[in-house]
Copies of this chain bind each other. A is one copy, B any other.
Amino acid sequence: MAPPEQQLFERLMAGDKRALARAISLVENDDPEGWALVREVYPHTGKAAMIGFTGPPGVGKSTLLGALTKLERARGRTVAVLSIDPSSPFTHGALLGDRIRLSEHFLDAGVFIRSMANRGALGGLSEAALQAALLMDASGREVVLLETVGVGQAEVDIINHADTVVLVLMPGSGDSIQALKAGVMEIPDVIVVNKADHPLTDTMIREIRGVLALGPREGWQVPIVRTDAVTGEGVDELDQKLTEHREFIEAEGTLRERRRRNLMNEVLAIATYRMRRELDASLQQDDEVSELLDRVVSRELDPASAAATILERAALSRARE
């Protein structure tokens, strides 16, 4: 009989939902077996269309994802949804409540839905989420929908992993519009204005058009799609724009370029996160380091000098390993 990890690999590659769920849990719990599994499946990734959705809380991202999932299923394509919830433990569940809107798909073997919540630094959550996306891709899901809360410049890095980035707003998303205007928020590939029956929608769309008009006139022109996720209005058009964007990046060769950049950012993010975790641990456990910090607090030693010393100690202990 094959060893259990070999079984998990084979079941995962065969598209088994429970194997995928188990694999993601291993990664989420930072289990070395999970990392080994990602290493093993990695050569089989890169086939799924990865679409990232970001936007402020409460704009209706989950309802939209539900509607898009339905469309893809009607075409016979398999779907995975990964929702990242970076909310604090204090109000925990405020965002996970949204998951209920995807519930009609829970029993469909062609749909895999997973939420991940933040239990530490955003870096750690993001690191685990990216590995989870790779596992979904390897398991043969044709479409992977990534969802995260983003306001202003704040998207969890997961968006770095998407081939297409969709920003979802609603009437009243004044801060996001201001952030787009001021160049604090990056311009996405597609903008959705959800809850489009609101009287302020037209004004808002005019404002967004004004911002987009400042951008480049060549290459991909960012479409603005009006949707009403509850009635399903505009979802076909959004689906159409997603297809057009995919065709555009495939034709221009920018899909390859974008994935190269995404993967580099991912490697750098994982390395930085691990380094930060090691530094954090040394602050907690290393007596010499905590003495250094005491000297910073008593204003004897400046923060930059303390940081330099801590980095040297970390490098030495790593090199000794």
> Hey, which bits of chain A sit against chain B, CB under 8 A?
35, 38-39, 42-46, 56-59, 86-92, 94-95, 130-131, 134, 149-154, 172-176, 178-179, 181-186, 214, 259-260, 263-264, 266-268, 270-272, 274-276, 279-280, 283, 293, 296-297, 299-308, 310-312, 314-316, 318-319
Contacts and interface: CB of A to CB of B under 8 A. Distances in A.
A59 B184 CA distance: 14
Contacts of A259: 297
Contact of A279 (B271, B299, B303, B314): B271
Contact of A152 (B134, B152, B296): B152
A94 B272 CA distance: 31
A149 B270 contact: no
Dominant SS at the A interface? helix
A303 B130 contact: yes
Contacts of A305: 39
A260 to B, nearest CB: 5
Stoichiometry, copies per complex: 2
A86 B153 contact: yes
A164 B135 CA distance: 44
Given A38-B302, A268-B307, A271-B311, 6 more contacts: A87-B184, A88-B184, A173-B174, A263-B303, A267-B296, A272-B272
A299 B45 contact: yes
Contacts of A57: 178-179, 181-182, 184
Contacts of A130: 303
Given A268-B276, A275-B311, A302-B42, A94 B283 contact: no
A271 B310 CA distance: 7
B131 A304 contact: yes
Contacts of A95: 182
Given A56-B179, A87-B183, A178-B56, A268 B283 contact: yes
Nearest to A305: B39
Contacts of A154: 151-154
Contact of A181 (B39, B94, B276): B94
A5 to B, nearest CB: 16
A185 B90 CA distance: 11
Contacts of A304: 35, 38-39, 131, 270
Contacts of A88: 183-184, 186
A45 B154 CA distance: 32
A254 to B, nearest CB: 14
Nearest to A211: B91
B276 A264 contact: no
Nearest to A169: B175
A149 B180 CA distance: 12
Contacts of A153: 86, 151, 154
Contacts of A301: 42
